[in-house]
Structure 1
């Protein structure tokens, strides 16, 4: 984001960590929404097209995802609007090394001092600020501010802070390093399982082929992610892109995670069939 100084006579400061990315859907993705309490200690501080979540653990805050670089100031403003101090953010959990979810991480780390938590492959992409060569979207290109303050977690590892335990769930496919996150939020004696799911869309650059032998790990990753999502305790689903999970900012209908997986399962089947048909002609 290009931020003007206090006077029109002062120079404009170009901040490399929040410099806007020229992304076709940026305006749609970053359409502003007020921060919203989901349940218990869990909130949304993101946008119409990109989810960002906040968890108050009682011993510090946890943020999930960072949207585009230019989104960081608005995310921090939403945290403040809820009455929290961004300096209390201890961890920022990353779902995937794509600019629309990771672009704002470097700026958020600078402002909060937080550590970014990601999978091994996710962390590799965040350090580079670039797409991996085996990413289906690699040919799109694009770079974003790299992240250096990182902690790597494995599938099933539990991150504990205060009264909250957050479990890392590997959900590869959209990228090999994609990670979803699950935790419980309580109000009195009523507790609900919340899942912040990484993208499961089988989308790619035009030349990419899911039927290619080199793409087999991606396809197997999707299949493993479907099984994982089908089996998760999931009273409330937040998806990295809200419109992929249903209407509204989150889905609290029964079977939300299974429905999320089934949507992707059908899209991938159609994509594979279309590629097979093209090859047969």
Structure 2
């Protein structure tokens, strides 16, 4: 992993743009928070957090089966499975596994969890391709830098705006390419005491890449166009509770820890959260474009 990506990985927690300085290269599998245990908890209604301190995994449940979004790192599979059991659910309850984007820190454990649960795996068209390649996707901005992970067999392709169903559960896909070509934001509704809220699992908005990839590339105008359209999509979504692949990017776990039984104002509920997240992504993009303009063209 080169210094550009090493710095970018640290920046995931702040959604900052890659900076000019070049610190020592960290190993992405040695990010302590990414594999640090987190007690699973109810986010709202039938939606639960089952990830680690540094990587989100979300469980949506029903009496007819459950949906899991993301699996985190390959080595975290037993931890995610244990979190699901701790909440009183069985692995076989999971009927469908969805993915935000096909990098090892979010898709790495999917193959193992799918095997152990018997669940089907689904992703966007380009996301499905990357999952079946174990992340070895030449169209990925981080191709050659992001670590490989176990390939996922027979991934179902989900179309843009398509709704996937498991029993009464209905989760909608929204293509938001940029961080990867197959990046996907997922939305659904969860209800509690007759109050239903819109929940958004918005994909990462950082622009990390290898040394040769350019977002502002005249030969690939779709890169900027797609990224901008994805941000518009996120900003436009009904959004009472926002979740993202790296919870620290929006202080999700710290806000969840502030909740108290019986309190009226839930720190996780913020109808402006998606708009603010998209605005941060737009700022990231403008900084990246400026940085690329100041650099010599890649060869």
Alignment of 1:19-98 (within 5 A): 23-98=28-103
Partner of 2:124: 119
1:255 to 272, 279, 294: 272
Question: More deviation in 145-154 or 199-208?
Answer: 199-208
Partner of 2:218: 213
Q: Which runs of 5+ in 1 are unaligned?
A: 1-21
The 8 Å contact of residues 73 and 109 in structure 2, kept in 1 or not, is answered as yes
Deviation at 1:95, TM superposition (A): 1.1
Match of 1:125, SS state, is: helix
Match of 1:149, SS state, is: coil
Partner of 1:267: 284
The 8 Å contact of residues 104 and 146 in structure 2, kept in 1 or not, is answered as no
Whole-Å separation in 1 of the counterparts to 2:146 and 2:177 = 20
Match of 1:195, SS state, is: strand
Q: Which runs of 5+ in 2 are unaligned?
A: 1-26, 257-267
Match of 1:167, SS state, is: strand
Whole-Å separation in 2 of the counterparts to 1:103 and 1:171 = 20
Partner of 1:105: 110
Question: More deviation in 194-203 or 76-85?
Answer: 194-203
Whole-Å separation in 2 of the counterparts to 1:217 and 1:236 = 30
1:224 to 229, 247, 257: 229
Whole-Å separation in 2 of the counterparts to 1:72 and 1:218 = 32
Cα RMSD (Å) of the superposition? 1.7
Residues 1:160 and 2:179 aligned together: no
| TM-score, normalising length: structure 1 | 0.87
Question: More deviation in 129-138 or 36-45?
Answer: 129-138
Question: More deviation in 129-138 or 46-55?
Answer: 129-138
Deviation at 1:180, TM superposition (A): 1.2
Question: More deviation in 130-139 or 43-52?
Answer: 130-139
1:180-208: per-residue Cα shift (whole Å, max 9, x none)?
11000001210000011111111112332
The 8 Å contact of residues 174 and 218 in structure 1, kept in 2 or not, is answered as no
Partner of 1:151: 156
Q: Which has the higher contact order (CA 8 A, sep 6+)?
A: 2
Partner of 1:277: 294
Whole-Å separation in 2 of the counterparts to 1:171 and 1:49 = 22
Partner of 1:133: 138
Deviation at 1:277, TM superposition (A): 2.2
Residues 1:174 and 2:179 aligned together: yes
Question: More deviation in 30-39 or 201-210?
Answer: 201-210
Whole-Å separation in 2 of the counterparts to 1:135 and 1:206 = 12
Deviation at 1:247, TM superposition (A): 4.6
Whole-Å separation in 1 of the counterparts to 2:253 and 2:117 = 29
- Size of the alignment, in residue pairs? 259
